[in-house]
Chain A
């Protein structure tokens, strides 16, 4: 498995869709992904899968993993290839392209690649990903309490989210994250269909905090926007 760690010329377009139907955003993501898939010192045909975390290279946009809410289409093709005259036969290939949204909301591209030819490589592939989604806008994001006196026991906090319209289908997802390893919380909270608010519970682990004051930032994301809130932790 190849994990793409670099993308050049990453570009994004966000189009507001006004309906009818629940789709309210169309995103187009393009770029050139670096994989440096080497053929080695032989002429065997080498195959592998390259996984591109599209979200991480395009503004950390997260999507509802429900396929009824997020519709995807994608394409990829070889962009940069290399061969040497050591090879008797060469191949560079993108054989299949499969976009999906992971459980944590990250838009991901699974690209089956192949390369052949002694000391050659398939260095990069180009991609286009289209995502039509019914993502909701996060209008309010709160954390309670705002300040915590931390002792020997773990302390609880609650995250509240409010979206701009009643959730449809299987609900609306708001993805949650924190900048501090001592704070734990679920990676998403689901707003039930027909409602606009939802809550999630998190905990603060006293073993992971230093003495004194620490500000913990909690972030809520949808494909459309993000908001943050913070807790002042005193130990």
Chain B
């Protein structure tokens, strides 16, 4: 049995195989920055680097850079200014896997929030997973392979 860091944080600036859609609607004829932005996507969970061979419940925090995933909506006609933006998010598990070597399974999204890191809007998701094949590397990223998200941003 190995051990895992509890509450590991994973962050990436690249998102292979991400499936994203989104658009914005202008809210002002005089200020093009003001707009309603709808962002949606299915994105891979990054996973953890260490091998796992136990049935412990493994939490992880995924930090997803929405400016990278949605460059058009977040930057056109002008970048979203953090001090004028309100963002609300919902996240669900989109892809999950497990096998019968586990005694217990868990797939969980425990907490979701958005925050700005500099000029980038981050989607921060606490997930937890349990089970997984023996000796698996990248535990969380395999048991919970993908997350589905919806983020609404209002720029006032």
List A residues at the B interface (Cβ < 8 Å).
Answer: 17, 19-21, 23, 26, 71-78, 85, 87-99, 112, 114, 116, 126, 128, 130, 132
Q: Does B93 have its Cβ within 8 Å of any Cβ on chain A?
A: yes
19 contacts between A and B (CB under 8 A): A17-B25, A20-B26, A21-B25, A71-B23, A72-B21, A73-B39, A77-B93, A78-B94, A87-B100, A88-B100, A90-B98, A93-B145, A94-B95, A94-B146, A95-B19, A95-B95, A96-B19, A112-B19, A132-B38
Q: Which residues of the partner chain B approach A93 to less than 8 Å between Cβ atoms?
A: 94-97, 145-146
Contacts A77-B93, A77-B148, A126-B92 given; indicate if A97 touches B40 (C-beta within 8 A): yes
Q: Which residues of the partner chain B approach A78 to less than 8 Å between Cβ atoms?
A: 93-94, 96
- Per the bound structure, the CA–CA distance linking A19 and B39 in Å amounts to 20
Among B1-47, those with CB < 8 Å from A are 17, 19, 21-23, 25-26, 28-29, 36, 38-42
Per-residue A-contact encoding for B97-113, CB less than 8 Å = 1, 0 else: 11110000000000000
Evaluate contact between B150 and A114: CB separation under 8 angstroms: no
Q: Which residues of the partner chain A approach B36 to less than 8 Å between Cβ atoms?
A: 26
Question: Interface SS of chain B: helix, strand, loop or mixed?
Answer: strand
Q: Which residues of the partner chain B approach A94 to less than 8 Å between Cβ atoms?
A: 42, 94-95, 146, 148
- Per the bound structure, the CA–CA distance linking A114 and B92 in Å amounts to 16
Q: Does B149 have its Cβ within 8 Å of any Cβ on chain A?
A: yes
| Known pairs A93-B96, A126-B92 / 4 extra A-B pairs, C-beta < 8 Å | A73-B21, A73-B38, A78-B94, A93-B97
> Which partner residue on chain B sits nearest A18 by CB separation?
B27
Evaluate contact between A91 and B97: CB separation under 8 angstroms: yes
Q: Which residues of the partner chain A approach B21 to less than 8 Å between Cβ atoms?
A: 72-74, 97-99
Q: Which residues of the partner chain A approach B148 to less than 8 Å between Cβ atoms?
A: 75-77, 94, 97
Q: Which residues of the partner chain A approach B95 to less than 8 Å between Cβ atoms?
A: 91-95, 114
Contacts A20-B29, A93-B95, A95-B94 given; indicate if A75 touches B100 (C-beta within 8 A): no
